Structure 1
Amino acid sequence: MLASIWLRAAQRGAPTFLMTALLTGLSPMALAESPVQRQELIAALRQLDALERTVTHSAAHTTIAPGERYHFDYSRLLADLAHVRAGIQSHLTPSRAQPRDPSELAGDYRTERPGAPQPPEAQP
């Protein structure tokens, strides 16, 4: 019974109606970049500059203590910040329609120092 209803609706142009309803429901501002959004993205780039300076300073002044197993991976964070910056800049100054870069942020900033003693494994 339900299948016959869907079949009749498809034959009567229901998909066309739904697509028209969806497209007319979008406002033009949803498709275009507003000047406020552009200013906010430019402000985000300035904040990224400040954050990169802070991270670079911290990386230069942080020493890894002997015997310390884990430390913060500043280089990975800086690479992710550069990736975010490139994404914002490409949005602000698009050259032409191109596919997005599918690479993801690393996200894991805790690394194990090479040569650190391994914890003993529990034996059953």
Structure 2
Amino acid sequence: MASPEIVSISWGQIKVQGSMKTYKDCKVWPGGSQAWDWRETGTEHSPGVQPADVEDVVKQGVQTLVIGRGMSEALKVPASTMEYLLKQGIDVRVLQTEQAVKEYNSLAAQGIRVGGVFHSTC
């Protein structure tokens, strides 16, 4: 199953191929996408993306995970999350969200099993 293209990204809005919803923050993986609700894991801009935020994407068998830190890169990615992903053998790319979407779409177009978590504000 292919990773869906992110069709558009703008402040507070992400549209993913195959979904009728417009997400504020989202997770994508080969064959699907869903809203990313930070409250589920108690995530805040600092310390940032928790291992629990990416576990369900990792479980989809991704080779690469792209993390979008927000438009102004306010969302942090702590060492604990990077260590968790590296221990899983996942190639990780951490970028400003618009750049992260470009990277994600490029990898998806190459047929790589790529997933992502994207923050569309801050």
TM-score, shorter chain, exceeding 0.5: no
Q: Per residue, is there more helix in 1 or in 2?
A: 1
- TM-score by length of structure 2 reads 0.23
Considering Cα pairs closer than 8 Å and 6+ residues apart, tell me whether 1 or 2 has the greater RCO.
2
When the two structures are superposed, what TM-score results if normalisation uses the length of structure 1? 0.22
Which structure features the higher share of strand residues? Answer: 2
Q: Quick check: which has more Rg, 1 or 2?
A: 1
